[in-house]
Amino acid sequence: MGFLKKKIAQGWASMHIKNENKWINNPVKVQNYWFQKLIRESQHTNFGNDFSFAQIQSISDFQNQVPVQNYESLKPYIEKIKSGHTNILWPKKPLYFAKTSGTTSGTKYIPISKESMPFHIEGAKSALLHYIYRKRNPNFINGKMIFLQGSPVLENNHGIMTGRLSGISAHFVPKYLQYNRMPSWKTNCIEDWETKVDKIVEETISQNMTLISGIPPWLVMYFEKLIVKSGKSVGDIFPNLQVLVTGGVSYKPYEEKIYELIGRKLDIIQTYPASEGFIAFQEDVDRDGLLLMLNHGIFYEFIPTEELGKSNPKRLTLEQVELDTDYAIILTTNAGLWAYEIGDTVRFISKNPYKIIVTGRTKHFTSAFGEHVISFEVEESIKETMESTGCIVQEFTLAPQVNPLEGLPYHEWFIEFEKPPVSISEFEFILDNALRKRNTYYNDLISGAILRPLKVSMIKKNGFNDYMKEIGKLGGQNKLPRLSNDRAIVDRLEKYVLKTL
């Protein structure tokens, strides 16, 4: 039976890739198709009437008539939907609201329509089928698969079911995966994250796990608890574990830690799911970059990061982007989001096909001195420093120290080490130089004696988890920002700092 399942999977994967190549090879044409379709189908919505969709004949018309939106600008429309009104942002009413935690807007309610929901599922499915096709190895389908996700228990909001995206997605696991799926539905419904992970460990530790999916910090917590309970590495507990599927945050800062916990190399499929839409996935695990999903209900625009904050920023379409340039990604979707800035920045590393890497958040940066350091730069710097020193970083964040008690201002890095460096001063020196190589503005500030080199404050074991628990954001879809432009976060982290190095 296992052999037959693998042959069927390989045939299915081949047919899927053949269909995918139709849009991969015609990227601009398919994006124009989606633009026209989205405008046409929404002409008579509340939003379409307000912005004269009936008069839109071209992308330039759309850009002239519809300013870039954010949650605050769409909130009046979303409140109408929450009150029971229909035909507001998209024909009829949403099928779901995905709840997310916003930094300025409190809880956000992102609409998911009947038309958009299948594309969320299609994205995850496509990632696995591309993997099977590329590697010619579907062995994982014969074992157990775990999806570390939020609770699937949903609230009813005027007939619109509401919950976390990962919990909503749990309702759409295909029937052919139900037998292999872990954990149990009852365990998946547990709200408290620590209790939930403990129960997941109990249910899975004796199973033949072959695929594990979750955001990297969840994986680390799950793996550590498995090791404590068994005394073995994850690779020994699950000898047939073949592939990890990750998303939500960058995998690179967790790469060394997860490798150590598993004890051997696995295939890693990185994905870019968002409540607003499934945006990209790694179609080749042996190469960097995520394939941008151009035929999945989304029309994309891109704003160069230097244009952010302007009243009328330059908005580029797919054929206008350049390689190795950072852009804020803007989505227009078949769930009723229009020219919506989701807050992520991306960089194209290929245009044939169109592949991206996520470089950071538009609101998560450090630029107290004009340096504008972004997530991609600090994550690459921390990885280089780990490789040079042999240490392992568990978690980190950084913030500016503008008014030190003595000396020049500096960047302060708060780092929890799984394996500390032999010399913290050597670590600081290598990390500082790594960041200077990647950010010329930061380098100029150090060279010009405006800033002193960075300083590391070591966080106690499990300090970041304790902090997230303290603020009520442990688990779920909550992520610790890598960078801040003030000290609001790190001031609360001070209690978790080791007093002696």
Comparing 57-71, 130-144, 415-429, the range with the smallest average pLDDT is: 130-144
- pLDDT digit string, tens, across residues 67-81: 999 999 999 999 999
Residue 480 pLDDT grade (very low, low, confident, very high; cuts 50, 70, 90): confident
pLDDT at 4: 67
Q: Are the C-beta atoms of 484 and 220 separated by less than 8 Å?
A: no
Nearest to 290 by CA among 276, 298, 280: 280
- pLDDT tens-place string over residues 210-227: 999 998 888 988 999 999
Q: What is the mean pLDDT of residues 301-309?
A: 89
What integer pLDDT is reported at residue 309 of this predicted model? Answer: 77
**What is the SS3 string spanning 136-152?**
CCCHHHHCEEEECCCCC
The answer to whether 234 and 260 are in contact (CB under 8 A) is: no
Q: Can you give the pLDDT at residue 291?
A: 97
415-445 b/e (C-beta count within 10 Å ≥ 16 → b): bbbbebbeebeebbebbbbbbbebbeebbeb
Query: Which tens digit of pLDDT belongs to each residue from 81-118?
Result: 999 999 999 999 999 999 986 544 568 999 999 999 99
To the nearest 10 degrees (0 to 180), the angle between helices 27-41 and 2-24 is 80
pLDDT tens readout for residues 412-453:
999 999 999 999 999 999 999 999 999 888 998 898 888 999
Within 8 A by CB and 6+ apart from 328, the residues are 302, 303, 305, 308, 341, 343, 344, 345, 362
The percent of residues above 90 in pLDDT, for the chain, comes to 68
Give the separation between CA 399 and CA 410, rounded to whole angstroms.
Answer: 9
pLDDT band at 1 (very low <50, low <70, confident <90, very high): very low
pLDDT in tens, 387-411: 999 999 999 999 999 888 899 899 9
Q: What is the pLDDT of residue 296?
A: 96
Q: Residue 66 pLDDT > 80, yes or no?
A: yes
Q: Is 264 exposed, middle or buried (0-12, 13-18, 19+ CB in 10 A)?
A: exposed
Q: Which of 21, 79, 44, 119 is nearest to 331 (CA)?
A: 119
Res. 351 pLDDT band, cuts 50 70 90 = very high
- 245-276 per-position pLDDT tens digit: 998 878 887 888 899 999 999 999 999 999 99
What is the pLDDT confidence band of residue 363, given thresholds at 50, 70 and 90?
confident
Q: Which of 126-140, 164-178, 261-275, 471-485 has the highest mean pLDDT?
A: 261-275
Helix (H, G, I), strand (E, B) or coil at 380: helix
**In terms of Cα–Cα distance, which of 128, 392, 135 is closest to 259?**
392
